[in-house]
Amino acid sequence: MATSSGPTPEASRKQTPQCWKTFAVSVEGTQHQRKGIPCQDACRASGVASGWLVAVAADGAGSAAFGGNGARVVCDYLYEFLTRLIARGAISVDEVMQWPKLIPRVLLAARRRLEVEARKRGPPVSLADFDTTVVGALAGPWGGILFHIGDGAGCAVMGSDWRGAIVSPPENGQYEDETYFLTMEEWERHLRITPFGPERDTLLLLTDGGTSFIMAAQFAGPEPRFIAPVHQVLRQEEGPEVERELAALFHRPDVARVSGDDITFVWAHRS
């Protein structure tokens, strides 16, 4: 497991807890549409208490028989487990530095849930049939962490400083189309945890279908030409129709020309 050093907080620990606004969509890629394959991405996100956020995105492997199921099980399990811990007061804002020790245990529990799903289906189904990446965020009133296995990306941004974002970039294997999954034996070696301070008021989680056009070159941060107008609209708009509009955006022909893969886009902003 790799843990990055966190930034020096640029805001006081006495900051008043505020609420997170979220929008999250997973949309079927054009390649899957043509082949009649359902979306194999999944996501969950919401502000769950004053100043707290839990967000997760996952990309089920297209080569796995139940990759989409794996993505949905992992997202649901991580989201529900972490929100229950917050509701019980089991995650303290005064122990932010201990959060990286919590995440491997929660991911292991999610992996065991996938093992149960595999056993339910019986041989020859195995854990590898549920291969899935995961990128998530846990944030409290005084900072948070990105946690990440595989491709996709996570970003923590201060204001509109997109190029100054803290980024958790994709990790690919020997070849560009290879990556790492929670379901692999060596999953913990590929778990990356990236802390961020309370000054980071916007978070993005992406599966790899969206990174080619939402992220800038060399994963230097979100591409301002794409994210700045989207961010402005999302800050102003409310209601379920916003996520339908996001889904329509990712189905546009110009997007399809860049990416035919499933796309997950999770946006969270503290206000």
What interhelical angle do 67-87 and 99-121 show, nearest 10? 140
Q: What is the pTM of this model?
A: 0.92
Percent of the chain with pLDDT over 90: 76
HSE-up of residue 149 (Cα within 13 Å, Cβ side)? 29
Q: Which residues contact 57 (CB under 8 A, 6 or more apart)?
A: 24, 26, 41, 42, 43, 75, 134, 135, 136, 152, 205, 206, 207, 264, 266
Helix, strand or coil, per DSSP, at residue 154? strand
* Residue 45: its H or E element: strand 41-49
pLDDT for 128 equals 97
pLDDT for 97 equals 66
Q: Which residues contact 222 (CB under 8 A, 6 or more apart)?
A: 155, 157, 162, 165, 204, 214, 215, 216
In this structure, is the dihedral angle defined by the CA atoms of residues 121, 126, 128 and 132, taken in order, positive or negative?
positive
Q: How many angstroms separate the Cα of 184 from the Cα of each of 83, 150, 180, 189, 245? A: 26, 11, 7, 10, 36
pLDDT for 50 equals 77
pLDDT for 17 equals 53
pLDDT for 8 equals 35
* Residue 63: its H or E element: none
